[in-house]
Chains A and B, each alone.
Chain A
């Protein structure tokens, strides 16, 4: 392969990296483990967790322990869904598109609004995005009024998202356990945004009708947050009570707890507001033969097209977790979901009644469904419950001083008779004067005032039909396990099977993030250890694992930089500099951080144009965001000079880790001078992409920036791992819980399996494979920049288009007929008719040669049979789609 490329040694491929940057001793990390060793290690560490599945669980507080049927898990974790990318090529992604379309339909049915997106990172960030959406619609410097009944983590996330753009948040207090409607009436300014939760964090079903009436009178928008989405199957829809936007977590539908994530966030709104909505949207259209088919639509809102003017910076979100929700709802239907909600509520009401009989205990929540606040006779109740062997209910002392010592008790359909008996016995023991009755049968009675809605129009299906439906959809999806996936900039490497086996073990899958610290030591250790590996790989002083995807990491880092400059009194630094080849997420993140984007052209070698950079650097420079290697697949040859220029100007240097795969084990971003670094665990660290998420975007930083990291952070004292809060300079929360833990777990498995030697081969082999493909293709397809590439390279079909009338799109569609996923096309924008190829290190020479053969065959077809391109692909379930119709005649839910 080296001979074909024309170099002598593997390390010659890195001649463009400054010699001072090459890691002479390699990475200071342990050796790799065999697969049995890896499984053994995770088994052992998993024993330090006490999952909720084998004890009575009364912990909810935003995440709920519901049944995840085996069939749901089996169908969704099929490789066709697990190992595919975001469905950019609809002809080979109808499976993913269909389950996301189903998800949209179900969220619309459950909330009563008109349109839904195809998921967001989680409940907390979805509600923050909803508040931003409402502010865009109101087009004013509006206030956002947030009820204290909204989940504390949601409130913190809203704060983090809204502050940088200068929006003001006002608190609406509680009266007992419900939003103080009188205060809202008095305080609300016209043309504002109001956020309440339904049912709220303390379990109360807020009087949405009364709240929305006040909002309407003041021409204000009502955002309804939802944490326990199962209750949407039971209660009147938020829209029927006046909600303008609904957002929250769909975790209750088939998403395992997984120590807090990944979980699907959702957002529904009115059709008239669609162009301001964040996130992917799937729509129905027809293919060339008039056959109905699905496609990502209204894409002009999104960062990859609108860049700094995008509705949001989100890219990868939670497709796989939305898929779990879809499968769950397809299986159980609207009626089944309502029954689950009824079971939880009936159990909660029965339990509450029994608890009230015990002297000294009081139920504080009014109008609740499956969750309520209990005030015990004295302090120490939560600790006592844990000692009694229960998964203790949530202790409210920390978040609500008025409910000091009180606990939030959650029931679901999984709460058994024995669980209730344990709970009551514990209460009696605690009160020492107990005389509550024995529980004889599982309660089914709901209080009269709960008027169940007409079940959501979601048809239930027998298990065998669920399995067949998904099997049929899976056949319509291309995935890594089907074949080569050279999707440039997406690093679609093979995802080892052992990671999945480890991740679904009970010790991780059924762990609740609000459990007591001593019950989750194993999970905290996984995070702590992963931080250590990532520190060594990036050279960063420290890291946060909280961001849910790459773009989320970008925003995290920019918010940290913003706080940092504010602390130094350098408010004039408002410009974020990006090369013109940057991903659209970079400028979109800059806008979300409340900053301006300045674009720098690319020079003739594909580097950043240094004179242009010098001209733009100054006292107004905040951050330079750089992808290195760049999106052209080229190492920035002047990186040390760039770093010096930015630092001399007083700015910070940010490393977009989208292309980290090229340099793992060879050189490190922090050594090059980057102050902030993000990684994409779903790219470089081989966690499956799930058809558009979950991702994970850890952010590393220098010592000077450490105080600004989001919280909580994981720390260790002696042998004890714990979550740390309390840095006054922290930017706050970027999402709920600790991060996408399930992704972190797989990434640690990847690190440990590979070890030092394995990781040091990643960048080298990825770069070897890319240069080999480039060398073999470049005499047949014009190259944008003819020099050694890193892990990917960019071809241009511009001359071919002129000569044969065949575009990059035509080539992409034709390669599908040879059973390959097409390369990335039309990105980066600086290369006309671009075709971006990234083979990754997990492909063999044989696979690469076969791909070259196919590309050469296609090249010959341009001369011998150009007409074949016009209708390609021929081998797919649907042909090319009418994307104009998808926007002009929008169909965004199943009819």
Chain B
């Protein structure tokens, strides 16, 4: 099951404390054309709710945040095709896989339903 953050990331539990991270459809729409993503290096250690990467559109930049952990894989396709984040933010536009320090870290995040409810306001 996917969890969502108020800061518009989704986290997919891959088992074994690994989580796949991307940004929500709503965030991708708000950012409009993402032209570049400063991808983290594999092996990078992240403190809790630290910036995983910076997404850049023509006139704005935004961070995607992660729970504490270590980056174990990044979506290298984004290097040349940052636009995947707009085309398929919750699928092919995933950003990275992080090995969480605390496998239960995702518990505190929102369900999809709860997240969508925050957008309604």
Interface residues of A (CB under 8 A from B): 275, 299-300, 305-306, 309, 826, 883-884, 886-888
In the complex, chain A residues whose CB is within 8 Å of the CB of B60 = 300, 305
Specify the main secondary structure of chain A where it touches its partner.
Answer: helix
| A305 touching B59, Cβ below 8 Å | yes
**Would you give the shortest CB distance from A25 to chain B, in whole angstroms?**
47
Closest to A139 in B: B41
Expressed in whole angstroms, the Cα–Cα distance for A887 and B33 within the complex equals 10
Of A300, A884, A886, A887, the contact of B61 (CB 8 Å cutoff): A300
In the complex, chain B residues whose CB is within 8 Å of the CB of A826 = 59
Expressed in whole angstroms, the Cα–Cα distance for A754 and B54 within the complex equals 49
Taking each of A300, A883, A886, which has the highest tally of chain B beta carbons within 10 Å of its own beta carbon?
A: A300
In the complex, chain A residues whose CB is within 8 Å of the CB of B35 = 300, 884, 887-888
In the complex, chain A residues whose CB is within 8 Å of the CB of B61 = 300, 305-306, 309
| A300 touching B59, Cβ below 8 Å | yes
In the complex, chain A residues whose CB is within 8 Å of the CB of B57 = 300
Contact A300-B33, Cβ < 8 Å, known A305-B61, A306-B61: no
In the complex, chain B residues whose CB is within 8 Å of the CB of A306 = 61
B36 within 8 Å of A (CB atoms) = yes
Closest to B33 in A: A884
Expressed in whole angstroms, the Cα–Cα distance for A836 and B7 within the complex equals 29
In the complex, chain B residues whose CB is within 8 Å of the CB of A886 = 58
Expressed in whole angstroms, the Cα–Cα distance for A305 and B59 within the complex equals 7
| B36 touching A299, Cβ below 8 Å | no
Expressed in whole angstroms, the Cα–Cα distance for A888 and B84 within the complex equals 13
**Would you give the shortest CB distance from A296 to chain B, in whole angstroms?**
10
In the complex, chain B residues whose CB is within 8 Å of the CB of A305 = 59-61
B56 within 8 Å of A (CB atoms) = yes
**Would you give the shortest CB distance from B90 to chain A, in whole angstroms?**
22
Specify the main secondary structure of chain B where it touches its partner.
Answer: strand
Expressed in whole angstroms, the Cα–Cα distance for A884 and B56 within the complex equals 11
Pick the 3 closest A-B CB pairs, nearest first: A300-B56, A887-B35, A884-B33
In the complex, chain B residues whose CB is within 8 Å of the CB of A884 = 33, 35, 58
In the complex, chain B residues whose CB is within 8 Å of the CB of A888 = 35, 83
Closest to B51 in A: A309
Expressed in whole angstroms, the Cα–Cα distance for A141 and B33 within the complex equals 34
Closest to A888 in B: B35
Expressed in whole angstroms, the Cα–Cα distance for A823 and B59 within the complex equals 18
Closest to A310 in B: B61
With A305-B61, A306-B61 known, 4 other A-B pairs at CB within 8 A are: A305-B59, A309-B54, A826-B59, A883-B58
Expressed in whole angstroms, the Cα–Cα distance for A306 and B61 within the complex equals 7
Expressed in whole angstroms, the Cα–Cα distance for A299 and B61 within the complex equals 10
**Would you give the shortest CB distance from A204 to chain B, in whole angstroms?**
40
Contact string against A for B residues 31-59, beta-carbon threshold 8 Å, 1 for contact and 0 otherwise: 00101101000000000000000101111
Closest to B41 in A: A139
Expressed in whole angstroms, the Cα–Cα distance for A275 and B58 within the complex equals 13
Expressed in whole angstroms, the Cα–Cα distance for A850 and B35 within the complex equals 41
Expressed in whole angstroms, the Cα–Cα distance for A705 and B60 within the complex equals 37
**Would you give the shortest CB distance from B55 to chain A, in whole angstroms?**
10
In the complex, chain B residues whose CB is within 8 Å of the CB of A275 = 36, 38
Expressed in whole angstroms, the Cα–Cα distance for A549 and B25 within the complex equals 41
Expressed in whole angstroms, the Cα–Cα distance for A886 and B35 within the complex equals 10
Expressed in whole angstroms, the Cα–Cα distance for A275 and B56 within the complex equals 11
**Would you give the shortest CB distance from B84 to chain A, in whole angstroms?**
13
Of A309, A883, A887, the contact of B36 (CB 8 Å cutoff): A887
Closest to B82 in A: A888
Expressed in whole angstroms, the Cα–Cα distance for A260 and B56 within the complex equals 39
Expressed in whole angstroms, the Cα–Cα distance for A184 and B33 within the complex equals 46
| A887 touching B59, Cβ below 8 Å | no
List 7 interface pairs A-B (beta carbons < 8 Å), by A numbering.
A300-B35, A300-B36, A300-B61, A305-B61, A883-B58, A886-B58, A888-B83
Expressed in whole angstroms, the Cα–Cα distance for A883 and B60 within the complex equals 12
Closest to A304 in B: B59
Expressed in whole angstroms, the Cα–Cα distance for A545 and B57 within the complex equals 38
Closest to B63 in A: A309
Closest to B54 in A: A309
**Would you give the shortest CB distance from A578 to chain B, in whole angstroms?**
18
**Would you give the shortest CB distance from B83 to chain A, in whole angstroms?**
8
In the complex, chain A residues whose CB is within 8 Å of the CB of B54 = 309
Expressed in whole angstroms, the Cα–Cα distance for A888 and B56 within the complex equals 12
Closest to A307 in B: B61
**Would you give the shortest CB distance from A456 to chain B, in whole angstroms?**
31
Expressed in whole angstroms, the Cα–Cα distance for A888 and B58 within the complex equals 10
**Would you give the shortest CB distance from B46 to chain A, in whole angstroms?**
16
Expressed in whole angstroms, the Cα–Cα distance for A324 and B24 within the complex equals 48
In the complex, chain B residues whose CB is within 8 Å of the CB of A887 = 35-36, 58
In the complex, chain A residues whose CB is within 8 Å of the CB of B38 = 275
In the complex, chain B residues whose CB is within 8 Å of the CB of A299 = 58-59
**Would you give the shortest CB distance from A696 to chain B, in whole angstroms?**
29
**Would you give the shortest CB distance from A502 to chain B, in whole angstroms?**
40
Closest to A886 in B: B58
In the complex, chain A residues whose CB is within 8 Å of the CB of B83 = 888
**Would you give the shortest CB distance from B77 to chain A, in whole angstroms?**
15
In the complex, chain A residues whose CB is within 8 Å of the CB of B58 = 299-300, 883-884, 886-887
In the complex, chain B residues whose CB is within 8 Å of the CB of A300 = 35-36, 56-61
Closest to B58 in A: A883
In the complex, chain A residues whose CB is within 8 Å of the CB of B33 = 884
Closest to A826 in B: B59
Expressed in whole angstroms, the Cα–Cα distance for A299 and B59 within the complex equals 7
Expressed in whole angstroms, the Cα–Cα distance for A744 and B33 within the complex equals 43
Expressed in whole angstroms, the Cα–Cα distance for A567 and B13 within the complex equals 52
**Would you give the shortest CB distance from A285 to chain B, in whole angstroms?**
11
Expressed in whole angstroms, the Cα–Cα distance for A645 and B38 within the complex equals 40
Expressed in whole angstroms, the Cα–Cα distance for A888 and B36 within the complex equals 9
Q: Which residues in window 86-113 of B have CB below 8 A to A?
A: none
